[in-house]
Amino acid sequence: MIRKTLKLLALTLAVGALLALIGLLKQKNRALEDAQKRIASIEQRMNKIMASISEEGRVADLRNELTQQRAELERLHTELAALHARTACSQVEPAIKQDVSPSSKAPAQTQASEQREDATKTSEGFEQRAEAWTEVLSAFPTAKQRFVERALKANIAPTLIERPQTLSAIDGIGPIFEQRLYNAGIGTYWEVATLDDETLRRILQLSKARAALVRFDTIRASAQRLAEETQTVGSIWNSEPVDDFDMIPGIGEVYKRRLYDAGIRTYAALANATPELLEQACASRSPVPPDYAAWIEAARKLATGRSGNESNT
């Protein structure tokens, strides 16, 4: 009887140990399954991240290509706008080259007559030059003729462009100074490069104390470098009005530049645009698109407020 009891007890213990072992194995299997699930989840997230990185690289490539295409388009616009001015300016160079000095090797008996001929030719050269300059100047707005004269004196063919350049790309010029330059009718790198210290101080609205801290020579050098890099030396903006879209919530520097490039540069033009037109002009890739209708409404209020102020004055 005791032996049977002992055997039964041993069997019970063995069964208990076996059940415990089975339970432990099940726990290990569940832990293994959980680990495998976590590994699979991590692999999926890694694949998404790699796909996102690849997509971001593609977007960056497309943006770089778009920037290059816009620069090329700007250059073509500049060349097209320059044709008339270059045609008129081509008459200046021959007139300049007609300055003739007396010959020291001429015989004594003919020297006086040659000097009279030289004086006559020089006078005619000045007249031709003046006529050519007058024709070139007539092709530009009156407010821009001082820039035309600077270009002609430097033997540079002046060109008129319709769209302002991104002046905030100049060292020392931020969005606020850029808008002040636009308001003053300055819209190209070359124009900025030709401004003297006092003119820059006045346009940028700097006090004399603050102006003493500004390196105007650095601003001009940077503007000249950009003009040379973009092949727009001698380019003169036609000074169409440009409003500061930073006043409208939701329009940052990127969208502002795209609107300017699309020819939408004033509150009135923005107020008269449609959401579809703005969507096409801005080409937003944001998951949450801009509120174009709110832009239009804000621009309408700003344009109305301006017209009201003008009527009161």
The pair of three-digit structure tokens given for residue 237, joined into one six-digit string: 């903006």
Per-residue pLDDT at 100: 37
Per-residue pLDDT at 120: 53
Instruction: Give me the helices (H) in the chain, please.
Output: 2-89, 92-96, 108-138, 145-153, 175-183, 189-193, 197-203, 208-211, 216-229, 253-261, 267-271, 275-282, 292-312
pLDDT in tens, 250-296: 998 888 888 888 888 889 889 999 999 999 989 888 888 899 999 99
Q: How many residues does the chain have?
A: 313
- Mean pLDDT score, 22-44: 69
Per-residue pLDDT at 99: 44
Per-residue pLDDT at 296: 94
pTM for the full predicted model: 0.49
Per-residue pLDDT at 240: 72
Number of neighbouring beta carbons within 10 Å of residue 182: 22
All structural domains of the chain, each given as residue ranges with its CATH number in brackets, are 243-306 (1.10.150)
pLDDT at 70 over 70: no
Kindly give, in sequence order, each residue whose CB lies less than 8 Å from that of residue 302, ignoring residues fewer than 6 positions away: 243, 247, 248, 267
Residue 168 φ/ψ, nearest 5 degrees: -70, -10
DSSP 293-306: HHHHHHHHHHHHHH
pLDDT in tens, 153-188: 888 888 888 888 999 999 999 988 998 998 888 999
Pick left, alpha or beta for residue 231 (phi over 0 → left; psi -120 to 50 → alpha; otherwise beta): left
pLDDT at 30 over 80: no
CA distance 300 to 294: 10
Per-residue pLDDT at 233: 94
pLDDT in tens, 97-139: 444 344 444 444 555 555 556 555 544 544 555 555 555 555 6
Identify the CA nearest to 62 among candidates 261, 231, 285, 282: 285
Query: DSSP label at 236?
Result: E
